[in-house]
Structure 1
């Protein structure tokens, strides 16, 4: 039987087999991305898939096709299913005792699967894809599917991944080390500049933990209140 482009066979969260047709925009993003960040077959914890709701099978399809990848000169980092030498896995990244604990209820119900160059997160919540601002904990609705999300990223990757600054930093300093992001010294929400002079190289989880504290402070402040916050290496 002929198979259409993107057709694969996989296993859904209930253990049954299904025919997988990866959407055209996800397929294009995968083609632009690096080699798999974990060469092992993707093994996603059943509870992780369930937390993705109706997008669980689509996430499994993507990870089955490529188990984590970088794109746009590492400005976009899509986590593999499980931790490898090249990247923390989705299961470990979403550990409730990890960095998400610093955000409290702000991160509740979110399954984080990718990040931009600044550590801004992409997550699944309520069966939709959202942007998660690490400085405020606010979510911005992006798409109803991963394929729709991929189209938006491809259409506006410079803004949604921070690629121009990722390119400029690496032109000056060399390839971005695995597990690192470019975190603003003065947070963007505190009028920090989108400029190399305001960015420092920081381990991704550390950057999220630090900004979790900022997000909780902002969330609890009344409108018009002033804050002072600076991140130093």
Structure 2
């Protein structure tokens, strides 16, 4: 794959799943990148990195861990976004639940608060280099570290979610974060993303924030 991918894999956790993944993941989201993802999963079938800030899903679900195949099932959380999260294969997430995905033959970041995609890399070697070069920003490592020093280890399949959404001015501080199940977090913010899309500029929206 390349030196940057090998480096990233070497500093992250052991396999989440001890099982050998299938050689290819059937998908229409870009065969070359899906083949690269399959190669990564053959080397390490899911992992956590940067004190759990980076989470790459294993191929299949095991125990409390959801695998990439199940994570990408339409009715798990993707359908909550209506048409906003379609056409992508989601394979990893940062500490806040921002999703890394394969879409339009690129690796992109999906922002769950507004339902938007941003291009990040052309292949997994470029993605690995981007993570290594700016892991604090791209994974949320600093806040993951602060949270765990204060409150203890972040459980599997949980992310740190803002009480006041970042898009609405919420601060990147411990005081504005709470621990949430990953699926619940995506569903909650899907409602926010749809409201933001459907609300004219200058009008207010209604959300239930966490105290």
Is the TM-score greater than 0.5?
yes
Q: Report which of the two structures shows the higher radius of gyration computed on alpha carbons.
A: 1
CA-to-partner distance for each residue in 1:59-117, whole Å, 9 max, x for gaps? 11000000000000000000000011252100000001111111111111010000000
Q: Counterparts of 1:137-216 in structure 2 under 5 Å?
A: 137-216=115-194
In structure 2, C-alpha distance between the alignment counterparts of 1:177 and 1:197, rounded to whole Å = 19
Q: Structure 1 residues 84, 231: closer, same or farther in 2, change over 3 A? A: farther
Q: What's the secondary structure of 1:132's corresponding residue?
A: strand
Is the Cα–Cα contact under 8 Å of residues 82 and 88 in structure 1 kept in the other structure? yes
- Which residue matches 2:197? 219
- Which residue matches 1:51? 29
Q: Residue 229 of structure 1: CA displacement?
A: 2.5
Is the Cα–Cα contact under 8 Å of residues 107 and 121 in structure 2 kept in the other structure? yes
What's the TM-score, normalizing by structure 1? Answer: 0.86
1:104 aligns with 2:82: yes
Q: What's the secondary structure of 1:105's corresponding residue?
A: coil
Is the Cα–Cα contact under 8 Å of residues 113 and 165 in structure 2 kept in the other structure? yes
Q: Counterparts of 1:99-138 in structure 2 under 5 Å?
A: 99-138=77-116
Is the Cα–Cα contact under 8 Å of residues 80 and 88 in structure 1 kept in the other structure? yes
Is the Cα–Cα contact under 8 Å of residues 136 and 219 in structure 1 kept in the other structure? yes
In structure 2, C-alpha distance between the alignment counterparts of 1:115 and 1:211, rounded to whole Å = 15
Q: Residue 45 of structure 1: CA displacement?
A: 6.8
In structure 2, C-alpha distance between the alignment counterparts of 1:154 and 1:86, rounded to whole Å = 28
- Which residue matches 2:61? 83
- Which residue matches 2:18? 39
In structure 1, C-alpha distance between the alignment counterparts of 2:114 and 2:175, rounded to whole Å = 22
Q: What's the secondary structure of 2:101's corresponding residue?
A: strand
Is the Cα–Cα contact under 8 Å of residues 52 and 111 in structure 1 kept in the other structure? no
Aligned counterpart in structure 1 of residue 70 of structure 2, from 92, 97, 108: 92
Question: Which runs of no fewer than 5 residues in structure 2 stay unpaired?
Answer: none
What's the TM-score, normalizing by structure 2? Answer: 0.95
Q: What's the secondary structure of 2:145's corresponding residue?
A: helix
RMSD over aligned Cα atoms:
1.5
Question: Which runs of no fewer than 5 residues in structure 1 stay unpaired?
Answer: 1-21
Q: Residue 157 of structure 1: CA displacement?
A: 0.6
In structure 2, C-alpha distance between the alignment counterparts of 1:52 and 1:70, rounded to whole Å = 25
CA-to-partner distance for each residue in 1:173-228, whole Å, 9 max, x for gaps? 11111111011111000101101011111000000000011111111222343334
